[in-house]
Amino acid sequence: MRIRLMPVLAAAAFAFGVSTHAEAADKVKAVASFSILADMVRNVGGERVEVTELVGPNGDAHEFNPTPADAKKLARADIFFVNGLGFEGWMERLETSSGFDGSTVVATKGVRALTVEEEDEHLHDTVPEEHANDDHGHNNHDRDKHAGGHHHRHGATDPHAWQSLANGAIYVANIRDGLIAADPEGEAVYKANAKEYLAALRKEDAAVKTALAALPETHRKIIMSHDAFGYFGDAYGLEILAPKGVSTASEPSAKDVAKIIRQIRKDKIPAVFLENVANARMLEQIAKESGAQIGGTLYSDALSEADGPAPTYIDMFKYNAKTLTTALSS
């Protein structure tokens, strides 16, 4: 009996192995430029998509230098998801060196990009219901003209658009449509996953607004090391001051640091916040000289490791909102 069964079992095992391998091979191979975007792609793609990220948890995309191994990852990909707005200064060089011939999806297409000067306009967007639909509201010419970040004549374009959950909904819609174009057979899956994920983003958007609305008016100014929270402040009613520009690669002058210290003292700003991708020394110096407290570490350009406090995009907002309200409530 055993002798007869063994070939059957072996054949079954072989068939199962081939099927499993085929399923893995059939997955859409996606590369995302950094960890926050990769998490969004995983939520929309689900089991149909194999996602690789170039800049991982706690990594700084501003300072990233692609390696030959990164070029190989991209060469094998079907689709490449990038933030755009100048965030990945290394992107075109990597695409060229890798020989990548798949499709590139710019997640910020349709986002109204802010410049340093525009960050005081207070747009106060809300995560919209219509982003769950096929057209997802991308017929607004005023928004589309900003998509590439090349149309601003004054000031530096702020690429950190994900720091508003309303913008996060635009990212998700672009991811969904990019995956459908690359894998039409998965359209129903991608639409269903995106719809569920967008509902979660709307829920978190409302929760963050409620939490931060309760802060005293005198506690709505904070100091960060670089301008990564302009969209966050605009969406949730905070004024963000930073000695560095939109890139962590820029270095503030002694004059800039002195100006921040004077403003902390003048406006009685209660706290400065560290960032997971930035060197803490400068802000620690500012806190010491100004008398402000260190309010905690916020996640700006990257998620935490899986066992950290911000392993997903939504977790990042939960953690940042809690850190801010805890430090600023009293």
Phi, psi for residue 232 in degrees, rounded to 5? -65, -50
Decide if pLDDT at 57 tops 90.
Answer: yes
Classify domain 214-328 at the CATH topology level. Rossmann fold (3.40.50)
Which of residues 165 and 16 earns the better pLDDT score? 165
Residue 126 is predicted with a pLDDT of 61
What pLDDT score was predicted for residue 250?
Answer: 57
pLDDT at 298: 92
- Pairwise pLDDT comparison (137 vs 225), residue with the higher score: 225
Top CATH class, 27-208: alpha beta
Q: What is the pLDDT averaged over residues 163-186?
A: 98
pLDDT score of 300:
93
Q: Which pLDDT score is estimated for 224?
A: 82
Chain region(s) in the chain for CATH 3.40.50.1980: 27-208, 214-328
With both helix axes pointing from N to C terminus, report the angle between 35-45 and 187-213 in degrees, rounded to the nearest 10.
130
Question: Which tokens hold the place of 251?
Answer: 């270095």
What pLDDT does 116 receive?
Answer: 67
What distance separates the 2 farthest-apart alpha carbons in the chain? 89
DSSP 70-131: HHHHHHT-SEEEE--TTS-TTHHHHHHHHT--SEEEETTTT---EETGGGGS-------GGG
Q: Are 120 and 78 in contact (CB under 8 A)?
A: no
* Single-letter code of the amino acid located at 154: H
Q: Is the dihedral of CA 295, 298, 304, 307 positive or negative?
A: positive
Q: What is the pLDDT of residues 94-129, one digit of tens each?
A: 999 999 999 999 999 999 999 865 444 434 456 766
Q: Look-up: residue for tokens 């100091």?
A: 223
> Mapped to the 3 state alphabet, what secondary structure does 264-314 carry?
HHHHCCCEEEEECCCCCHHHHHHHHHHCCEEEEEECCCCCCCCCCCCCCHH
Please tell me the predicted confidence (pLDDT) of residue 93.
93
The pLDDT mean for the chain works out to: 82
Q: What is the pLDDT of residue 41?
A: 98
pLDDT digits (tens, 9 = 90+) for 187-246: 999 999 999 999 999 999 999 999 999 999 888 988 887 788 999 999 999 998 876 555
Does residue 284 surpass a pLDDT of 60?
yes
Confidence bin at 278 (pLDDT 50/70/90): low
Mean pLDDT of 69-85: 97
Predicted pLDDT of residue 123: 42
- Between residues 245 and 72, the one the model is more confident about: 72
Confidence (pLDDT) at 117: 54
Distances (CA, A) of 323 to 149, 163, 329: 31, 15, 10
Q: Which residue has the higher pLDDT, 255 or 112?
A: 112
Q: What is the per-residue pLDDT for 165?
A: 98
